[in-house]
Amino acid sequence: MKSWRQKILPAILAGTLTFTYGAAVDAKSNNGNGKGKANAPGQLKKVEQKLKLKDIENHWAKRTVELMSALQIIKGYEDQTFRPQNTVTQAEAIVMVVNLLGLDDDKTVNTRISLKGVPTWAKDSIEVALDAGLISNKEAQQPNKPATRLFVTKMLVNSLGVNWDRNADRASDYFKDVKDLSREDRSYLTFAVLQSLIKGYEDKTFRPNKPVTRAEMAVLVEKLKDFKEDRGEDIEYSKRGTIYSIGDDTLTISKDG
């Protein structure tokens, strides 16, 4: 198993509006059909993309969902809904994290195991995530299992690409319902709390076995994105660009021509 570390790339900065992120979306000129006149190499172009998710207008995670959807980290459905309250499976959660990290382009993997029951659309991402140490062999074999808060937390910590103390168990100081977890799991939670990746509920519970919804997953993936960018790491997407602005129903990006 190879040890994964996020590549550091120069940030591309554009715009001064409230929502400015170093990121990329799969957008093309000429209404997205790819037939428009190409820009000269290295030239920045602005591409406007419509935000059409129609079932999140009054949702508490609206802006995060729009951003993660625009980045094609989390996708909507063909009927232009996002279904924020639907729970995610482990396969879906893995694909989202791999999309964010840009690991989906790495199709050369060293770890070879027989994956059973893995959806075709998730197979490459699960293989890459397993090889990068984001998930365990057992987790790779359970793609259709609901992604719990504990599962997602551990995957996020593994995605940071940093060394951390696996014996630093202070989780019970933060949550009153985690004493039955293994010491390693509690250490994951401790580190995740200290890095502001997760937080508990008002009653001081974490609810480790609670399935994660699509809206919650959008927020958790954005926290991973923020962590890396706060450390000066630019996420390497397959197609890089910079979000210039987010309006009420449109996203404008600048990207290399």
Asked if residue 143 lies in contact with residue 118, where contact means CB atoms within 8 angstroms, the answer is yes
pLDDT at 237: 43
Q: What is the mean pLDDT of residues 71-78?
A: 80
Compute the distance between CA of residue 245 and CA of residue 37 in angstroms, rounded to an integer: 23
Q: Per-residue pLDDT for 17 more than 80?
A: no
Determine the 3-state secondary structure of 244 from DSSP. Answer: strand
Query: In the chain, where are the structural domains located?
Result: 20-33+43-86+236-257, 87-145, 148-210
Instruction: Name every residue whose Cβ is closer than 8 Å to that of residue 242 and which is 6 or more positions away in sequence.
Output: 12, 13, 14, 15, 20, 21, 22, 23, 253, 254, 255
Q: Which two tokens stand for residue 227?
A: 């962590």
Please indicate, yes or no, whether the overall pTM of this predicted structure exceeds 0.85: no
**Contact indicator for 65, 221 with CB cutoff of 8 Å:** no
Q: What is the pLDDT of residue 106?
A: 53
Query: Across the chain, which distance is largest between two alpha carbons, in Å?
Result: 60
165 close to 192: Cβ distance less than 8 angstroms: no
Residue 20 banded pLDDT, cuts 50, 70, 90: very low
Summarised one tens digit per residue, pLDDT across range 92-132 is 999 999 988 888 665 556 655 677 788 889 999 999 999 99
* Cα distance from N-terminal residue to C-terminal residue, the chain: 36
Sign of CA dihedral 24, 7, 155, 188: negative
Averaged pLDDT of the chain: 75
User: Given this model, what pLDDT does residue 31 score?
Assistant: 32
